[in-house]
Amino acid sequence: MLSLYLALALRLETTQLEIEITTEEVATIFVTIFITLTCFIKMGLYRAILRYMAGHAVTTIATGVALSTIILTTSSFYFQSFIPRSVPLIYGFVAFIILGAPRLIIRGLVHKQIQRYKPAVIIYGAGQSGYQLAHSLFSGAEYRPIAFIDDNPKKQGSIVHGLRVYPRTHLEQLIRARKVVKVLLALGETSRSTRHQVLLELEDCSAQVQSMPSMQDISSGKAKVSELQDIKIEDLLGRIPVTPDYQLLSSCIKHKVVMVTGAGGSIGSELCRQIIKQKPAKLILLELNEFALYSIEKELKLSIENSDIETELVPLLGSVQRQRRLEIIMKSQQVETVYHAAAYKHVPLVEANIVEGVRNNVFGTSRCARAAIITKVKNFVLVSTDKAVRPTNIMGASKRMAELTLQAMAQEEHSTIFSMVRFGNVLGSSGSVVPLFRDQIKKGGPVTVTHPDIIRYFMTIPEAAQLVIQAGSLAKGGDVFVLDMGQPVKIADLAERMIKLSGLEVKNKDEPFGDIEIKYTGLRPGEKLFEELLIGENVSGTVHPSIMTADEEFVDWPTMQKMLSPLDESCREYLYDDIFQALLNAPINFRPENSHYVTDTHEADTTYLKLVK
């Protein structure tokens, strides 16, 4: 009614509206108000919370006012009321201002009041991802974006979501002037090399650097735009994964019955995820740990339900040391391909528990392989490690013994094709230093590194799993495959970069007032300064650029059996000295460094044995 009054006043250029209102005009006003209110209620205008009003609310008001204008025009024509033709247009304009302006003003004041108490952040990347992140942060209660940083000169100086876009040279100045606590990366689907370059430039940034989730995780529902994450270590290292050969990926899997031992472990679970994508007829999950088996089965079931996959999952609890159990599984399920990932891989733990380490890594592999031969499995792939090359610890020695066992079995008369795939550290595995460093940084340090010169190769778990599958497809029998791990990384440098990207300073002699100290604890038992992937020099390429094959010495099965029998007996009797000596005498070039296999665990087990006897 106020809008109509003002429209008439503007049209007639007077505020003294002494007009005799007829029945037709009353009907026009009543119908207009009634239908307009009904439309606004249906459109949810009166349910909108002012704090969250944005473009959608403005559109709703504009639509409602346009409908109201049409209704006023139509009803005045129908009832033959005296309303000038220009009044409905003026009415619509005035109504939009009266209805929209107070709401937007109040929203602006409330929004400004809320924003002033939130910590300031800068968004790096003024593209679509940056816009989405800014919108999400404005609506949330955690952070207040104050500016964009973008390397594109065309975007610099423009306004995105009400924020100015600056070049990177202004970053440190903005951080100090506006008390910025975080720089948030919103780089969308940019390449890993680009992300790596950006992180190199942000290393000396005085604010913490975090990233928004990938668009793939957002679209799949795994993460929300506002769920900020620590920088992915693969982006920090800058390693670019090689595109897989999909024919090699599916060769030993598609429409086949596949079995993964150690299916709940870091490598085993990722193997299962990659295998499912190749649509096997059946996937057997063998795992000793009940919860790990439950977790991976639950995850894979969800993946199967959400994809066009008809794979049957068979979760089985069991140990790879029980050969009869393995034979029954492989025979009853008609297994065609086995990926043997079950192993104890944590160097200090295996060093302190050599009996269980040797039993699981050597005899678990031997019995699993023998079961595969008996049940005529077509392909058997052992997941090995670079620590098997000139081993300096029990874990590496046991894995090299496992490799020799398969190489010896491969020379026998049978139909099973054996191969082993050797690679270095994987990011995010249960023994990776990366989660350890992150936890230590969150607790305020110190960050512990065993030696200032220690270096390691790194690869992501998905890439390692894909390469293991592809290498298995290349096998001809007894092959030792070596993965191209890229450039080695100095662990001390990795720790320093992670500290700096957390917005903290490294505490050292040059910076005595820094935040977090890097503490060197000394090499652990059996730990090397650097890892190797090859025993000899005889290495050749394959059809895959990241997979090489090594031509290494091996022994025949009778010779191998003579080494395994006394070793097995020593494990049953818990004869630590004999086990250690057997590994030293084996042709695996075992040269222990810093090894103290005689531990409290050893002494406790020896005492227990005496009591039993």
The residues annotated as belonging to the active site are 387
Rg of the chain in Å (alpha carbons): 34
Place of tokens 């249906």: 42
What beta strand segments (E) does 504-572 contain? 506-507, 516-520, 539-541, 547-550
Q: Which residue has the tokens 């094959």?
A: 549
Q: Which three-class secondary structure state does DSSP give residue 66?
A: helix
CB 210 within 8 A of CB 217: no
Give which of 357, 370, 361, 290 is closest to 326, Cα–Cα.
Answer: 370
Distance of CA 315 to the CA centre of its chain: 24
Contact 395, 346 (CB under 8 A): yes
Alpha carbon distance 283, 273 (integer Å): 11
Q: Rounded to whole angstroms, how far apart are CA atoms 585 and 390?
A: 13
Distance, CA of 370 to CA of 147 (rounded, Å): 64
Rounded to the nearest 5 percent, the helix, strand and coil shares of the chain are: 50, 15, 35
| Burial bucket for residue 164 (CB in 10 Å: 0-12, 13-18, 19+) | middle
DSSP letter string over 106-163?
HHHHHHHHHHTTSPEEEEE--SHHHHHHHHHHHHSSS-EEEEEE-S-TTTTT-EETTE
Distance (Å, rounded) from C-alpha 394 to C-alpha 409? 22
**Token pair for 317:** 């609890």
| DSSP at 78 | H
- The Cα 392–Cα 382 span in angstroms is 21
d(CA 441, CA 472) in angstroms, rounded, equals: 39
* Nearest of 310, 286, 315 to residue 299 by alpha carbon: 315
Q: What is the dihedral of CA 403, 405, 409, 411, to 10 degrees?
A: 70
Indicate the Cα dihedral angle 100, 101, 104, 106, nearest 10°. Answer: -120
Pairing of strands 516-520, 506-507: parallel
* H/E stretch holding 8: helix 2-12
222-250 as b/e: b if 16+ CB within 10 A = ebebbebebbbbbbbbbbebbebbeebbb
CA–CA separation, 80 and 364 (whole Å): 95
Give, rounded to a whole angstrom, the gap between the first and last alpha carbons of the chain.
102
Pairing of strands 379-383, 282-287: unpaired
Q: Which residues contact 354 (CB under 8 A, 6 or more apart)?
A: 394, 576, 579, 580, 597
Q: Which one-letter DSSP state was computed for residue 92?
A: H
C-alpha dihedral sign at 260, 266, 267, 271: positive
Q: Are 110 and 50 in contact (CB under 8 A)?
A: yes
